[in-house]
Amino acid sequence: MTTVKKHAEKTITNPYDTDRMNSIFIEYLTEHGLRKTTERKTILECICNIQGHFDVDMLYEKLESNNFHVSKASIYNTIELLMNACLVVRHQFSTQTVRYELKSAAAGHHHVICNCCGTVREIRNERITRYMRDLKIAKFTQEYCSMYIYGVCSKCRFRQIHNTKKTTD
């Protein structure tokens, strides 16, 4: 583990650690007098297994394919709770796609989005992650911070140059 930083307090070795996520969620539910239903537990487990970005539909399909039926309404409800519990964060990369991610997984990277083809890439930059995390903002308690870099990927750029004019999509 040569990459582990000394000052990285709260270091979570595996960002998709289901047990750890579960216990945080259970704690949150207990604290707020909410019920620990099978649906809630199963949805969180499913999220941990996806290991990456997900949307409501993807989650619904995955759960169906695991023979666990749950309504979309419950998925929305559970994600809302998970966001309140600071376990999940929301991303919106383009108009019609809201995607979510485990906060512990999102904390280490930033997003590079191509305006042409919409591809989302993740980049790591320790310096900026640390700087942003330690940023003090007046009258505000930071919980999570997210950076999006928009531009044109090399593939689209190549296409642009060879068409001499920019492709609209």
Partner DNA sequence: GTCAGTGCAAACTTTTTGCAACTAC
Partner DNA sequence: GTAGTTGCAAAAAGTTTGCACTGAC
Q: Quick one: tokens of 50?
A: 């996806």
User: Distance between CA 120 and CA 112 in Å, rounded?
Assistant: 6
State the nearest-atom distance from the C-beta of 146 to its own copies, in Å: 5
User: Which residue ranges make up the site for DNA (CB under 7 A)?
Assistant: 29, 33-40, 55-57, 69-74, 76-78, 80, 95-98
Residue 37 binding: pick among DNA, its own copies, none (C-beta 5-8 Å cut-off by kind): DNA
Residues linked to residue 102 through DSSP beta bridges, in sequence order: 88
User: Distance between CA 79 and CA 47 in Å, rounded?
Assistant: 10
Stretch of residues binding its own copies (CB under 8 A), selected from 15-23, 47-55, 62-70, 89-97 = 89-97
Stretch of residues binding its own copies (CB under 8 A), selected from 2-10, 18-26, 63-71, 128-136 = 128-136
* H-helix or E-strand spanning residue 112: strand 110-114
Q: Which of 121, 130, 159, 163 binds its own copies (CB under 8 A)?
A: 121
Residue 36 binding: pick among DNA, its own copies, none (C-beta 5-8 Å cut-off by kind): DNA
Residue 158 binding: pick among DNA, its own copies, none (C-beta 5-8 Å cut-off by kind): none
In the chain the first and final C-alpha atoms are separated, in Å, by: 43
State yes or no: residue 117 binds its own copies (CB under 8 A).
Answer: no
User: Distance between CA 118 and CA 100 in Å, rounded?
Assistant: 16
Q: Quick one: tokens of 45?
A: 């487990």
* H-helix or E-strand spanning residue 79: helix 72-84
User: Distance between CA 101 and CA 145 in Å, rounded?
Assistant: 13
Contact residues for its own copies, defined by CB under 8 A: 31-33, 83-84, 89-90, 92, 95, 98, 112, 114-115, 121, 123, 125, 128, 131-132, 135, 137, 139-154, 157, 165-166, 168
